Amino acid sequence: MKEKIINLLAAFENKNIGDSFPLNYCLPLYHCVSDDDLPHIKHVINYKNTKQFEEDLDCFSRHFQLVSWSEFKDFVQGNFRPRKKIALLTFDDGFREFYEVAVPVLERKGIYACNFINPAFIDNRDMMFRCKASLLIDRIKKIHIINHEVYSLLSLENKADKEFLINKILNISYQEKEVLEILAEKLDVDYKAFSKEYKPYLSTEELKTLTEKGYGIAAHSWDHPKYGDLSLEDQMKTTDQTFNYLKENGFLHETFAFPFTDFGVKKAFFDELFKNEDILYSFGCAGIKLDSVEKNFQRIPMEMGESGEKILKREMAYFRMKKIIHKNKIVRR
């Protein structure tokens, strides 16, 4: 019912999105752009192809003034007056397609982007646990007979269908990620061999080249845990480790984007985070939403199987609906 109401309201949104957008900034979020079949991503992220990405960029350009990190900072601090509402383009996870596919498009259109990375995966030293899950799912979809130990490891009956098995793998958490290593053995999946051959993540050299080109390389935690599931001590440990890496390598160390979501993250974390005077702002991904932590901005996930324009209109409609019942602001305690 909620989805039907949102879709109905979205249909009545003004064609000029920039004029009716409820905030004075728009923060689109992507992970990957590719025309290829990517087994380590496709089962966990509904990434866009080049044509879809360009159409989204054209939509943003029509309705917003696309800005750099420096301009965004100045805007928030009241030192930059744009011609219209602004948009800051962001990417997460540091996949190599950012360098090979997205950046050539951005350069051609003169658009800045910031990529929030996990240092644990740079130079393909390891792979995020959700990408490992995607590889396992890809393998399961291609084979007819599945090792019965796979079912046992996941506390399933041998007769459970593939979709149930796949959902079980998708629900493996960061804290349970070692299970993915055991499952890989049972399913004949070699994560290291895949990383060596495909090189899914950016290299240090590519990160430095991107920085020289003017793009932002910023913090996304060390190895992509869900912050709401961590203690404050562990939240700060992975955050501080990441900022040390960025600073040592000359990357952007003024901002941080939460991996997955900032849902459940308490005010105490932000109090600790902003004790570091280098850090100016942080980013979640709850769509168009306000936050009681004024330095924390919510981004809009753009990989939802729809065009950028449709996603923005749905988000705008949902924001207005939530505003009526005073639920359009995240309150941290």
Give the number of residues written for the chain. 333
CA 147 to chain centre: 33
Q: What angle do CA 65, 69, 73 make, to 5 degrees?
A: 90
CA 150 to chain centre: 29
**What is the reported pTM?**
0.95
Tell me: domain 129-196, CATH 1.10.260, correct?
A: yes
190 DSSP 8-state letter: -
In tens, the pLDDT along 221-244 reads 999 999 999 999 999 999 999 999
Average pLDDT over residues 250-262: 98
HEC profile for 136-188? HHHHHHHCCCCCHHHHHHCCCCCCCCHHHHHHHHHCCCHHHCHHHHHHHHHHC
Strand partners of residue 284: 298
HEC profile for 8-63? HHHCCCCCCHHHHCCCCEECEEECCECCCCCCCCCCCCCCECHHHHHHHHHHHHHH
Q: How is the chain split into domains, by residue range?
A: 2-126+200-330, 129-196
In tens, the pLDDT along 48-65 reads 999 999 999 999 999 999
Instruction: Considering only residues 3 and 203, tell me which one the structure prediction assigns the higher pLDDT.
Output: 203
Tell me: domain 2-126+200-330, CATH 3.20.20.370, correct?
A: yes
Average pLDDT over residues 189-199: 98
Question: Nearest-CA neighbor of 296 among 328, 259, 260, 255?
Answer: 255
